[in-house]
Amino acid sequence: MITTEVTFDELAALMKKAAGITVDPQELRQSAESPFDSFGLDSLGLLGIVGELENRYGRSLPPDSERCKTPQEFLDLVNSTLKAGA
Amino acid sequence: MSTQRSGRAAITGIGVVAPNGQRTDAYWKSVREGLSVLDRITREGCGHMPLQVAGEVQGFDPSALIEDRFLVQTDRFSHFAMAAAALALDDAGLGGGAPAEPFSVGVVTAAGSGGGEFGQRELQKLWGQGSKFVGPYQSIAWFYAASTGQISIRGGFKGPCGVVASDEAGGLDSLAHAARAVRRGTGTMLAGAAEAPLAPYSMVCQLGYPELSTVAEPDRAYRPFTSSACGFVPAEGGALLVVEDERKAVERGVPVRATLAGHAATFTSAARWADSREGLARAIRGALDEAGCAPEDIDVVFADAMGVPEADRAEAQAIGDALGGHGRRVPVTAPKTGIGRAYCAAPVLDTVAAVLAMEHGQVPPTPNVFDVCHDLDLVTERARPAELRTALVLSRGLMGSNAALVVRRGGESAR
């Protein structure tokens, strides 16, 4: 399935793959404005997720993406970037 | 320091992940029995190398012991260290949950080779797939300091932390560092070392050492102090100790297993084994001085046992130089001939063996070694019962560091 929309489900899966963090996608969606570190994700973990997405979509994400503080902020930035390039 | 009644550095917890036992009791049983677990290396990608025999930690399952979020960002050497640290904390009655006083708990480890396996995997991604496929944790996982950092993060420890990069003898230096931190007022230190040098890249790095044994028969590959000495075999694994202020341990009501009584370190340059005679002898004298010990007070010596004739001779002479006539009478042992040399972790595992030997009143034997060709009373074949109050642990590194540690039995003799 080709999609240009990264979902909370996918973000949860990436948090597991890249940073070893188990988080329920439902909970991630509900707490989308909570800071990443409240889920246990540190800056290197987010950098790893950015790298995974860049490789998956074959394009660069803006430098600000690895500085996002919350899941909502991150998905908004990533998805607007992917849409703009689609 | 010896006359100082307060602030002595006590060992109250021991955690071991070794080729011959992945818990302290299993390790001691193997050491006491003189079991040799040296064998052909089975790790993937290592089969074609001239280094064929080592001490592997087989069946170690880090995912059963360590959370995924730590596993993804750490190498096997840190897995050993984190596992050993947790075991040591449990043993000291400090396991489980956040520390009551996080700023009074620190960590110091030594490392000789860092996270070579993790680094190799990421470098293979770099050259196989491209720079964008290198994970960000490459920046920290290979690093010598990784184990100290991860243990402190995982445990929530905020006291003074450190990393000793001083060659294999750094394992003893890490314990001395912890003892100093305790004397300066830090309540509790986790100290020791763990290594994972058995992976393709890490093994290639070792192939240039002339001291490395390339003998293919496991029972003949590492036989120090004999005329058939042909170098050493490497090992993986390690040990962490909980070192705390003796008064605090007494207040908490936990047994003082031993005290770190004296330590000294010297340096005599790489591969100059004859020079290590003086370096090691001076380290022994320095450790005895700090402990306030006479040579006759030493009840057992845990030898470095490099397995290189010139180095073995230098060590035997150093023991004689520093201990005089007592050096020919005191029981000497090298349990590491049954598991190999785990670089910085080797002298920490020996320190653990020394503590257990004192607790059990038995000098463990030196596996695979017979026909000693030096003027030493090397204990071979089976454990020797003995009243042991004070042990001397020796260590040398391939790059020229030498260290000696005096450990005293805990319990009544510690007071």
Same domain flag for B267 and B246: no
Residue A3: which pLDDT band, with cuts at 50, 70 and 90?
low
Same domain flag for B224 and B269: no
Average pLDDT of B189-199? 98
pLDDT digits (tens, 9 = 90+) for B204-260: 999 999 999 999 999 999 999 999 999 999 999 999 999 999 999 999 999 999 999
- Both structure tokens of B205: 């790095």
Is B394 a domain residue?
yes
CATH fold of A8-85 reads: 1.10.1200
In sequence order, what are the beta bridge partners of B188? B105, B244
Same domain flag for B287 and B219: no
Is residue B28 classed as helix, strand or coil in its secondary structure? helix
pLDDT digits (tens, 9 = 90+) for B334-343: 999 999 999 9
pLDDT surpasses 50 at B1: no
Contacts of B137 in chain A (CB under 8 A): 44, 48
Give the closest-approach CA distance of A85 to chain B in angstroms: 20
Report yes or no: B210 and B310 within 8 Å, Cβ to Cβ: no
Beta-sheet pairing, B300-302 with B390-396: parallel
Same domain flag for B233 and B382: no
Residues with Cβ within 8 Å of B157's Cβ and at least 6 positions away in sequence, in order, are: B99, B102, B105, B106, B107, B151, B190
What is the complex's ipTM, to 2 decimals? 0.86
Contacts of A18 in chain B (CB under 8 A): 72, 135
Write down the H helix ranges in B66-208: 68-71, 76-91, 116-128, 138-141, 146-155, 170-183, 200-206
Same domain flag for B162 and B34: yes
pLDDT digits (tens, 9 = 90+) for B302-341: 999 999 999 999 999 999 999 999 999 999 999 999 999 9
Same domain flag for B331 and B211: no
CATH assignment at residue B237: 3.40.47.10
Domain final position from B234, B252, B270 = B252
- What's the domain count of chain B? 2
Write out the residue range of the structural domain in which residue B265 sits.
261-410
Contacts of A21 in chain B (CB under 8 A): 68-69
Is B3 a domain residue?
no
Residue B4: which pLDDT band, with cuts at 50, 70 and 90?
very low
Same domain flag for B69 and B144: yes
Q: What pLDDT score does B97 carry?
A: 83
Q: What pLDDT score does B96 carry?
A: 82
Same domain flag for B75 and B101: yes
pLDDT digits (tens, 9 = 90+) for B356-371: 999 999 999 999 999 9
Same domain flag for B196 and B267: no
Q: Any idea where the domains of chain A sit in the sequence? A: 8-85
| B16-25, B131-140, B228-237: segment of lowest average pLDDT | B131-140
Backbone phi, psi, residue B47, to 5°: -65, -25
Is B415 a domain residue?
no
Q: What pTM, to 2 d.p., does this model score?
A: 0.95
Give the closest-approach CA distance of B136 to chain A in angstroms: 6
Same domain flag for B88 and B213: yes
Of A20, A47, A55, the CB nearest to B71: A20
